[in-house]
Amino acid sequence: MTRGTRIFLSCIYWAFVLYVFVPLILMVVMGFKDSKFIGFPIRSWTLDWYLGVFEDAEVVSVFVYSVAIAVFSTLISVIVGTWIAVLLEGRKFWGRAAVFGLTILPALVPGIISAIAFRIYARLLGIEPGMFAIIWAHAVHNVPFVALVVMARLSTLPKSQTEAARDLGADPLVAFMRITLPYLVPAIMGASIFCLLLSFDDFVRSFFLGSYEPTLPVLIFAMLRSGMSPEINAIATVALVLTAVLGVWAERYMRRMNKETGR
Partner 1 sequence: MGSDVASVRKPGGGKGADAGATFWGRLVRWGPYSALLSLIFTSPRRQFVILAAFPILWVLTQHLGPMLQMLRVSLTDSYPVAQGTDTQFTLDNYVRFFGDRIFWMPFFRTLTFAAVFTLTTLIITYPVAYFLARHVSRKNQLLMLLLLLIPFWVGEIVRTYAIMILLGNNGAVNLALRSLGLIDRPIPFMYTSFSMGVGIVYLTALYMLLPLYSALEKLPKSYTEAAADLGAGAWTRFRRVTLPLSLEGISSGCILVFLISTGFYATPVLLGGPSTTVFAETIAGFFHVAGDEWPTGAAFATIMFVAALLLTGIFQKLMNALRKGDTR
Considering only residues 50 to 89 of the shown chain, the ones binding partner 1 according to CB under 8 A are 80, 83-84, 86-88
For residue 177, state whether it binds partner 1 (rule: CB under 8 A): yes
Cβ 47 to partner 1 shortest distance, Å: 19
**Which residue, 48 or 119, has its beta carbon nearer to partner 1?**
119
For residue 234, state whether it binds partner 1 (rule: CB under 8 A): no
**Which residue, 2 or 160, has its beta carbon nearer to partner 1?**
2
For residue 172, state whether it binds partner 1 (rule: CB under 8 A): yes
For residue 174, state whether it binds partner 1 (rule: CB under 8 A): yes
For residue 97, state whether it binds partner 1 (rule: CB under 8 A): no
- Contacts of partner 1 in 190-219 (CB under 8 A): 197, 200-204, 207-208, 217
Q: Choose one: 43-51, 56-64, 154-162, 169-177; the region binding partner 1 (CB under 8 A).
A: 169-177
Q: Choose one: 11-19, 48-56, 67-75, 151-159; the region binding partner 1 (CB under 8 A).
A: 11-19
Binding mask 106-135 for partner 1 (x = CB under 8 A): x-xxxxxxxxxxxxxx-xx-----------
Binders of partner 1: how many residues, by CB under 8 A?
91
**Which residue, 26 or 64, has its beta carbon nearer to partner 1?**
26
Amino acid, res. 177:
M
For residue 45, state whether it binds partner 1 (rule: CB under 8 A): no
Peptide bond into 182 cis (omega under 30): no
**Which residue, 38 or 71, has its beta carbon nearer to partner 1?**
38
- Of 61, 251, 256, 261, the residue at the interface with partner 1 (CB under 8 A) is 251
Instruction: Find the Cα–Cα–Cα–Cα dihedral 170, 174, 177, 180, rounded to 10°.
Output: 40
- Of 67, 246, 253, 257, the residue at the interface with partner 1 (CB under 8 A) is 246
- Of 67, 75, 152, 170, the residue at the interface with partner 1 (CB under 8 A) is 170
Query: Exposed, middle or buried: residue 236 (CB in 10 Å: 0-12, 13-18, 19+)?
Result: buried
